[in-house]
Amino acid sequence: MSKIDKIISFDIDSDFGMFKKPDVNDIYFTYNIIPKPTLLGLLGAIVGFGGYSQMQKNDVFPQFYTEFENLLISVAPLEKKGVFQKRIIKYNNTVGYANKDGGTLNISEQTLINPSYRIYVAIDLSKNSHQLLEKYLLANKTENSYIPNYEYIPYMGKNEFKLDIKNVQVFDNFSYELDAVFAISTLFQNRGKVALKLNEQERDPFDISMSETYFYYFERLPISFDELGQYQYENFSYTNAKFSKDSDFVENLKLVKIGDSVICLY
């Protein structure tokens, strides 16, 4: 695992959100969870790194991705069972370049309602970009308040959906030592062909915790770009089920314990 000096967490929320899937054009569908490349763009906006519109002829990737490509992050949806409400919104696009034939382009777009996430970023203070990110995230934090500080306005996937940054916390003390049995409080990669439930810790049928209802959420999300700028994907899961630290499944994840919570960095 990369060197980690501290972990900073913060919450983001908005009235609406839209993280467009690139594979369907008849209706614009959205991912339920903010993808890592989108999150890196959000962090780049906060510190003032260039995006797609600032790319030069010889640039392979926008500046935000070049600077934060190896940044370890973690995401937890702040919604019961991780699923946000969605609505199909229809509107007309009347700009000239969208309607070369002189007509009006009708768009149907799936939109997230009140999306909110807890974001964790692992800071390596030997990297200038990480130092800059820490500076902006903590610039106006006091014990009882926080005033967001950023160069460009961050948004929830579309520039119409301005987001709020709240609840910034710094964790200098964290551990890689896990309890014998634990739950993962964030998204984590669900790799391999073995079903997730085969790695779940067996529950004692006489344990009152058996009354707890376990949920599982799965989504295939972009995690990086290839050399052609196309998304590369991984399968992710989110669950309140408990796992044993001795399982091969767990050993392949980048897990960190913060207080009583275990997060997965990717």
Residues 60-73: pLDDT tens digits? Answer: 899 999 999 999 99
In a domain, 25, yes or no: yes
In a domain, 196, yes or no: yes
User: Given this model, what pLDDT does residue 192 score?
Assistant: 62
In a domain, 159, yes or no: yes
Contacts of 227 (CB under 8 A, 6+ apart): 60
User: Given this model, what pLDDT does residue 120 score?
Assistant: 98
The dihedral of CA 202, 244, 193, 78: what is its sign? positive
Inter-residue contact 18 to 38 (CB < 8 Å): no
Helix residue ranges, H only, the chain:
36-47, 63-68, 128-138, 248-251
In a domain, 1, yes or no: no
User: Given this model, what pLDDT does residue 91 score?
Assistant: 78
In a domain, 45, yes or no: yes
User: Given this model, what pLDDT does residue 80 score?
Assistant: 86
pTM of the full predicted structure? Answer: 0.89
The C-alpha angle 134, 235, 192, rounded to 5 degrees, equals: 120
Give the amino acid at 74: S
Using alpha carbons only, how large is the chain's radius of gyration in Å?
20
Strands 27-28 and 105-113: parallel
* Burial of residue 1 (number of CB atoms within 10 Å: 0-12, 13-18, 19+): exposed
Q: What is the pLDDT of residues 226-251, one digit of tens each?
A: 988 899 999 999 998 888 888 878 88
* Residue 254, phi then psi, degrees to nearest 5: -90, 90
User: Given this model, what pLDDT does residue 85 score?
Assistant: 97
Q: Tell me the CATH number at 43.
A: 3.30.70.2660
In a domain, 132, yes or no: yes
User: Given this model, what pLDDT does residue 1 score?
Assistant: 73
How far CA 6 is from CA of 165, 187, 189, 210, in Å, comes to 19, 20, 22, 36
SS3 of 104-152: the string is: CEEEEEEEEECCEEEEEEEECCCCHHHHHHHHHHHCCECCCCECCCCCC
The C-alpha angle 243, 249, 254, rounded to 5 degrees, equals: 90
State which residues of the chain have pLDDT below 70.
93-104, 192-212
Inter-residue contact 113 to 84 (CB < 8 Å): yes
Number of independent structural domains in the chain:
1
User: Given this model, what pLDDT does residue 202 score?
Assistant: 58
Residue with tokens 């739950």: 183
User: Given this model, what pLDDT does residue 48 score?
Assistant: 96
Name the residue range of residue 69's domain: 6-265
Alpha carbon distance 136, 224 (integer Å): 24
In a domain, 43, yes or no: yes
Give the amino acid at 44: G
The dihedral of CA 44, 48, 54, 57: what is its sign? negative
In a domain, 66, yes or no: yes
